[in-house]
Structure 1
Amino acid sequence: MAGSGTGAARPRRLWLRMFGTGLGLWLLTVVVIFLTGNPNLIPTLVLLGSFLVPVTFVAWAFSRRHSGELTAELVLSTFVTGGVLGVLAASVLETYLLHPSPWLFLGVGLIEEAVKLAALAVLTRRLAHKDVRDGLVLGAAVGFGFAAFESAGYAFTALFTERGLSVADLVETELLRGLLAPVGHGLWTAILGGVLFSSSVREHFALTGRLVVSYLGVSVLHALWDSMHGIALLLTLVLTGTPAQDQLLAQGYQPQPTPLQAHLFTLLSWGGLAVVALLGLVWLHAVRRHADRVDTSRVWWRIPTPGPR
């Protein structure tokens, strides 16, 4: 019995070993690039840094899967295919539908959450038994796949600067996006996956008003996350702005914060991101708790009552 317990515990720590190994390889790649200046290692750095955190969290979520129908092959398919389809569809739709406006970030949120939800539905439509917990895992897989490919693009773009190739900017971008990845795309699509798989008829998706409300709510969280830099800057200027800055703002220009305002701007920016992340985590927990309550009620109603003697 002791042996079986140890064996059962090891797969649950697989995600931790994956993260440790991947982080070590990424750090080693960074060191070798700075020592040798070999540009052939840049794709390795981009891929390791962009996929490390998303793959780790998908592995962690998969270790907590609920049913045997949720296979590694299905999770891998949703991660890769869903991520690529989501990035491609979002790129096309954002190019042709969005234009600079105060509602730009809301449009981005609506489009990206829609394409991720659609990719999730298409890739899992043949799943015979749709459980909320499995929906959370598969939604996270699509979201983290989207985040990984998107981060690879941002990291590659950060490499090119006016000063030439900048590995330092690439590394900085990967560190920042890796730090924020757990409370971004993966979290938002996990919420939608849990709601999509919450139908009382487990063979079908829950295409209900709750799903529509969840989609709109997650899109708003996405928009707030993307626009937090501008929101923090605006609040900083409203609270501590100078007349010159107010004049630039009235003319439609974005003034830069002074050194004294930089601390407040940083506090508001990171504080805002923390609030959005906390709202997403609380929402995810509520979806999971709702599934637990539904399962408990089903078990209760299935308990046979004693018949007449």
Structure 2
Amino acid sequence: MKLRPPWLRVFVVGFVLWVASVVVTAWTSNSNLVPTVVLLGSFLVPVTFVVWAYAHGRSRDVTVERMFVAFIVGGVLGVLGASLLESWLVRPSVVMYVLVGLIEEAVKLAALIFVARRAARDKVRDGVVLGATVGFGFASFESAGYAFNALFTTHGLSLTQLVETEVLRGILTPVGHGLWTAIAGGVLFGARGRLTLPVLLTYLGVSLLHALWDSMSAIAIAITLVLTGRPWQFAELRIGMVPDVSPWQVHVYTVLHWAGLVLNSLIALVWLAVILARGRRRDVSYQ
């Protein structure tokens, strides 16, 4: 059967190549193939969504060349800027996740402004597409780093952990960086590229979604302890010990963790849908 949508062809071909790379690497134990596995697995889902976004949002200003620049240049500038700022500003604390959210959404927004500086910046859909492209570029390079780090364990190189990391991040990628920067990009282009109050409030909003996403595991642990914790567990926590947990508490934590991620994603998706709907009405009124 012929696969007509370009994004589907990209995904299927890329997925087959990635699986083949994993199988051959495992079969031959050839470490030279590890970069191939890392890059294919990290870029597959983000590139697929960029191809999909281009097919549904192409315009005079959203060209293949501009999207390529947004993905590569915007993504690299984003991860470099985030790495520098986080190394200077972020320390383990209760506000760590908030700082990470503020920093990473700021550098992605700055990267979007840079790569779109010669675009018209007057159509909301263009901002959504280019913003998503910058976000997916950021996600690709960040995922490659996580996958590379997962390779190294106390027992040597672990292809299994590398693959598990790439699969999990691939599944979650569509509702992460690309979605958050798409929201910010749509509002930015709706303001014709100016840093207006709605743009700044949107930046703070997506930064909050980002922070909640990153901290969802800690939030789920805290809620699980509040709901099911035993006095001896709290006593051990007070003296700095990590208490044992029951299977029931593990199940409660898992449900709360994934429920939080789903709720976070739904909020962002609805927000983006509202931005696109308002953008369509705005563009029609200008015609």
TM-score w.r.t. the length of structure 2 is 0.96
1:250 counterpart (210, 230, 238): 238
Q: Which moved more, 1:241-250 or 1:39-48?
A: 241-250
**Partners of 1:132 and 1:195 within 8 A in 2:** yes
User: CA RMSD, aligned part only?
Assistant: 1.5
1:68 CA drift (Å): 1.9
The one-character-per-residue Cα deviations of 1:124-167 (angstroms, maximum 9, x if unpaired) are 11113531101000000100000000000000000000010000
- 1:283-304 CA-partner distances (Å, limit 9, x unpaired): 11011011012123334xxxxx
Superposed, 1:130-279 pairs within 5 Å as 130-199=122-191, 204-251=192-239, 254-255=242-243, 257-279=245-267
Instruction: Compute the displacement of 1:223 (Å).
Output: 0.3
Q: Does 1:62 align with 2:50?
A: no
User: 1:66 deviation in Å?
Assistant: 4.6
- 1:37-186, aligned counterparts within 5 Å? 37-186=29-178
Letter in structure 1 aligned against 2:232: A
Q: Which residue of 1 aligns with 2:7?
A: 15
Q: What is the CA-CA distance between 1:34 and the residue it aligns to? A: 1.5
Aligned length: 286
Residues 136 and 194 of structure 1 are in contact (CA less than 8 Å); yes or no, is this contact kept in structure 2? yes
- 1:242 deviates by 1.4
Q: Which runs of 5+ in 2 are unaligned?
A: none
Counterpart amino acid of 1:229? S
CA distance in 2 between counterparts of 1:253 and 1:212 reads: 41
Residues 125 and 75 (structure 1), Cα distance of their counterparts in 2 relative to 1, 3 Å cut: same
Larger Cα-atom Rg: 1
* Corresponding residue number in structure 1 for 2:280: 292
Name the amino acid aligned to 2:222. L
Q: Distance in 1 between matches of 2:109 and 2:206?
A: 11
Letter in 1 for 2:253: F
Residue equivalent to 1:28: 20
Q: Aligned partner of 1:294: which letter?
A: R
Instruction: Report the alpha carbon displacement of residue 70 of structure 1 after superposing the two structures with TM.
Output: 1.2
Distance in 1 (CA, whole Å) between partners of 2:3 and 2:182 is 22
Superposed CA deviations along residues 199-220 of structure 1, whole A, max 9, x for unmatched, are 3xxxx41321100110000000
8 Å contact from structure 1 (residues 11, 63) kept in 2 = no
Could you tell me which runs of 5 or more consecutive residues in structure 1 were left unpaired when the two chains were aligned: 1-9, 300-309
Quote the Cα distance in structure 2 between the aligned partners of 1:171 and 1:224.
Answer: 26
Alpha-carbon distance change, 160 to 54 in structure 1, aligned in 2, over 3 angstroms: same
CA gap of 1:287–1:34, structure 2 versus 1, over 3 A, is: same
TM-superposed deviation, 1:250: 3.1
Identify if the C-alpha distance between structure 1 residues 18 and 93 changes in structure 2 by more than 3 Å, giving closer, same or farther.
same
User: 1:38 Cα deviation (Å)?
Assistant: 1.0
Residues 136 and 177, structure 2, Cα contact 8 Å, conserved in 1: yes
Deviations 1:161-194 (A, max 9, x none): 0010000000000000000000000000000000
Distance in 2 separating the partners of 1:49 and 1:283: 29
Structure 1 256/156 Cα, relative in aligned 2: closer, same or farther at 3 Å? farther
Identity %: 57
Task: Render the CA deviation track for 1:70-96: whole Å, top value 9, x for unaligned.
Answer: 110100000000100000010000001
- SS of alignment partner, residue 57 of structure 2: coil
Change (3 A) 1:68 1:158: same
Counterpart contact for 2:18–2:40, Cα < 8 Å? yes
CA offset at residue 11 of structure 1?
10
Taking a change above 3 Å as real, the CA distance of residues 66 and 36 of structure 1, as seen in their structure-2 partners, is closer
